[in-house]
Structure 1
């Protein structure tokens, strides 16, 4: 992993709120040094889960792939940006989000490093934008003034929507007329059917469930114009990595192994594991959507990452004014150091 130099990566608290809200980042003002090197090493990782689904680390732990590393669930999150913010402030040990959200925090000085990709876009798992079957919305200009429901603002869905509209000739002023609305993934399909939104951004099990229910049609998909790519990664604070390299290595290796296990096993077997985990943990949730699981969408073997999966979003963030300019080199945004599949180049 590249060493973290200068003060920029150590100063981020003043901009966390702006990063979450999707506002342009202000100049950094608050200092934040690394935690004391006297801090005790740990074999337990605090994390946030997601309602109605099972994360890759949770599956890895159930399969015994994390070795001696234990997971401690501290609650659920509603968005990736919130999850990595919570990791940045040390309230949890790792978080996962769309790489663009992580880049934004890292550009703001958050001392974070991505260690493994955990979701992405492929032929089975992609970000699709859906309308009702009878909707008059047919092309990009039909979206002007319309409400688009998505799991969080400033995340994957909003970035893809912006790239799609700009790539089809809409001006920045016209793009601003499209209205992103933040909704929990479990409620987005219902909001579309009830007319509360005009377009629903759906992925994974929630997308497959909506298609199975019928009455919706795709407007566009990110995989059609961006191709297969890993879209999100798990991050740790840099000081945590320095204190606990063996723990981070075990976590990364376990999640990487789980990604490949999921590819190699019959889909029904993966779904059965996910369903059993959710039912056993007793979090007052339903696992109905889990039967629609198809893929994690991770591009690199074992979640190995590449520069493109970060520079695509850092370039976009700079272009739309979310950051002044991209200043953090890709090699300081992520590392494949802890991933056992990196030795083979990370290709499938």
Structure 2
């Protein structure tokens, strides 16, 4: 009797597992981490999820919203997530440390990062030199916001550690600037536009446009997108292709729809209680997004150049840029 009961339970479990695999097209559930989900630079990830594009690919995707890109990367390297919506630069940093990360779809043609000065210091801060020794807010140490500060310092012949950075995530940056806990902060839209519009802060260095990016980095600087480990790609090529299919599809949606329609799909909580201003800011940022998800050949060398200026280990490493991104999945996207 006990034997047949165990046999029945085993068969039932097998049926349940089979049904689960069938429901998801044989693909395992996917965990994707992002450092600041409400930011425009990562809008394609949430938009694809809201439009049901992941489900159309037979994927069950869970998005983990963390404070910054470095925390999202740490979550993946620690094994708690499978992929990251983050900045391309992390793939270069990883290779210099003997690890291989690969960007499989590009969201953003440029970074969209803005170093903004708090209103109490408008008259005192004209360049990065004036912030030496003063607290500056970044999303997290080691994040792309932190690296922008260090790059600007090195570019101006200063010690990249001469500005004390303070952790101030997207949800706390506004308060940090208003309460003068930081002299300046690095953020992105929609928060950057709100800070400027409300007179709380104003841009000192701005990469929300192609011109601004070229002025600061001297050329193209591809930024946000989806990356993962080379091992995950090797073990789950069909899953990666499905994620990229959804990414390319949502980038096409962005190209074909006005800001008003895109905003209507996003969670209301992302609007920060002001839909009209959210739409206005989004409209001004639509040129940020890649039309096709392809990493341009001219971008990675310039990113490597800027990273090497700040980090001697990267400068000394023999980084093979061909191993930091893979356009095959985008080119094969339906």
TM (normalized to structure 2)? 0.76
Q: Structure 1 residues 336 and 55, CA, compared in 2 at 3 Å: closer, same or farther?
A: same
Q: CA–CA distance in 1 between the matches of 2:145 and 2:173?
A: 13
Shift of 1:307: 4.2
Given candidates 258, 266, 271, the residue that maps to 1:274 is 266
Deviation at 1:56, TM superposition (A): 2.2
Equivalent residue runs for 1:221-240 within 5 Å:
221-222=206-207, 223=213, 224-226=215-217, 229-240=221-232
Name structure 1 gaps, 5 residues minimum.
Answer: 1-39, 280-285, 344-348
Secondary structure, in 3 states, of the residue corresponding to 1:192? helix
Q: Which has the higher helix share?
A: 2
From 97, 116, 128, the equivalent of 2:114 is: 128
CA contact 1:84–1:102 (8 Å) conserved in 2? no
Q: Which position in structure 2 is the counterpart of 1:323?
A: 314
Instruction: Check if 1:162 corresponds to 2:150.
Output: yes
Among 48, 52, 56, the residue aligned to 1:60: 48
Contact 1:156 1:231 in 2 (8 A): no
Match of 2:93 among 92, 104, 111: 104
Is the 2:102–2:326 Cα contact (8 Å) retained in structure 1?
A: yes
The structure-2 alpha-carbon separation of the partners of 1:51 and 1:315, relative to structure 1 and needing over 3 Å to count, comes to closer
- CA deviation vs aligned residue, 1:310-339 (integer Å, no higher than 9, x gap): 333433444432436232311111100000
Give, in angstroms, the shift of residue 94 of structure 1: 0.7
The residue that corresponds to 1:201 in the other structure is: 186
**Structure 1 residues 310, 299: CA separation in 2 closer, same or farther (over 3 Å shift)?**
farther
Q: 1:189 aligns with which of 162, 174, 178?
A: 174
CA-atom RMSD in angstroms: 3.0
| Pair 1:228–1:323, CA change in 2 (3 A) | closer
Deviations 1:72-113 (A, max 9, x none): 326431121221232234321111222222321232232421
Please tell me whether residue 46 in structure 1 is matched to residue 31 in structure 2.
yes
Q: Equivalent residue for 2:294?
A: 304
Unmatched 5+ stretches in structure 2: 1-24, 208-212
Partner of 2:140: 152
Distance 1:171 1:165 in 2: 5
Which residue of structure 1 lines up, in the alignment, with residue 158 of structure 2?
171
CA contact (8 A) 1:241 1:248 kept: yes
Distance in 2 between the 1:48 and 1:165 partners?
Answer: 29
Matched, 1:73 2:73: no
- Structure 2 CA distance for partners of 1:158 and 1:75, relative to 1, 3 Å: closer
Q: Does 1:339 align with 2:325?
A: no
Runs of 4 or more, structure 1, over 6 Å off, are none
Counterpart in the other structure of 2:106: 117
Write the distance in 2 (CA, Å) between the matches of 1:150 and 1:297: 24
Number of aligned pairs?
A: 291
Report if the CA contact (8 A) 1:48-1:83 is conserved: yes
Q: Which moved more, 1:312-321 or 1:149-158?
A: 312-321
Deviation of the 1:201 alpha carbon: 1.0
- TM-score, structure 1 length as denominator? 0.73
Q: In structure 2, how many angstroms separate the alpha carbons of the residues matched to 1:228 and 1:111?
A: 23
Query: How far apart in 1 are the matches of 2:178 and 2:252?
Result: 36
CA distance in 2, matches of 1:297, 1:142: 31
Aligned to 1:142: 130
Where 1:272 maps in the other structure, the secondary structure is helix
Q: Does 1:214 align with 2:205?
A: no
